[in-house]
């Protein structure tokens, strides 16, 4: 192990509350992100339209992610959007991002969502590797104010669904990641 890095420990994921506002702002600022809009995010949490998850190791918050629940015109939650996945620099590439991502997907699946999307900068190769490695596929190109990116998508099977739905999901994931997919061109 490299000198100066903390020892690996178990990652504990929990829902953020308004009492976590200061630690969430400090975490965002520690990686150079703006703290603007955080208070508005908690209004969405209170309305049941978003969840903010925190990753803790030994009682210290080392990462966060937000999951927005989108309601189609016909009613009911069907799609989610993952945003603001961040991990403190000392804890990157140690499973924290994967744990946050899986927990956000579980929250979406528990609500019966059928897919989740997320946006990523085209230049963020570490994030792209994480997302593709956990089953996300290219959905469409995206243009951000700071440069090009992608919207990625992952099809979910609600955890209560039968085995036949899981077989269909496995087929879809294999098919969508074949050499003909957009992912092969990234």
Any idea what the Cα angle at residue 140 is, between residues 137 and 145, rounded to 5°? 120
What is the structure's pLDDT at 156? Answer: 86
Show the domain range for 180: 114-186
- Indicate which CATH number applies to the domain containing 27: 3.40.630.30
Prediction pTM value:
0.77
Q: Are residues 36 and 103 in the same domain?
A: yes
d(CA 136, CA 94): 20
Q: Are residues 23 and 103 in the same domain?
A: yes
As for how many domains the chain has, the answer is 2
What is the structure's pLDDT at 42? Answer: 80
Q: Are residues 146 and 128 in the same domain?
A: yes
What is the tens place of the pLDDT at every residue in 113-161? 888 999 999 999 999 999 999 999 999 999 989 899 999 999 887 555 5
> Residue 18: inside a domain, yes or no?
yes
pLDDT of residue 61 exceeding 60, the answer is: yes
Q: Are residues 96 and 133 in the same domain?
A: no
Residue that is last in its domain, among 79, 113, 147: 113
What is the tens place of the pLDDT at every residue in 63-102? 999 998 876 655 554 789 999 899 998 888 889 999 999 9
Contact (CB, 8 A) for 154 and 137: yes
Q: Are residues 119 and 140 in the same domain?
A: yes
What is the tens place of the pLDDT at every residue in 6-57? 565 689 999 998 889 889 988 888 888 877 777 778 878 887 888 999 999 9
């Amino acid at each position: 192990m490299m000198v100066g890095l903390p020892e690996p420990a178990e990652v504990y994921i929990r829902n953020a509350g308004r009492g976590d506002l200061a630690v969430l702002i400090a975490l965002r600022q520690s990686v150079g992100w703006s703290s603007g809009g955080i208070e508005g995010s908690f209004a969405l949490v209170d309305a049941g339209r978003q969840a903010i998850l925190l990753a803790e190791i030994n009682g210290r918050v080392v990462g966060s992610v937000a999951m927005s629940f989108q309601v189609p015109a016909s009613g009911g939650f069907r799609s989610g959007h993952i945003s603001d996945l961040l991990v403190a620099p000392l804890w990157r590439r140690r499973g924290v991002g994967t744990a946050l991502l899986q927990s956000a997907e579980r929250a979406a699946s528990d609500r019966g969502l059928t897919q989740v999307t997320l946006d990523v900068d085209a230049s963020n190769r570490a994030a792209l590797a994480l997302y593709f490695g956990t089953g996300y596929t290219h959905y469409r190109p995206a243009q951000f104010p700071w440069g090009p990116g992608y919207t990625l998508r992952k099809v979910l099977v609600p955890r209560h669904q039968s085995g036949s739905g899981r077989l269909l999901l496995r087929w879809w994931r294999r098919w969508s990641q074949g050499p003909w997919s957009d992912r092969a061109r990234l």
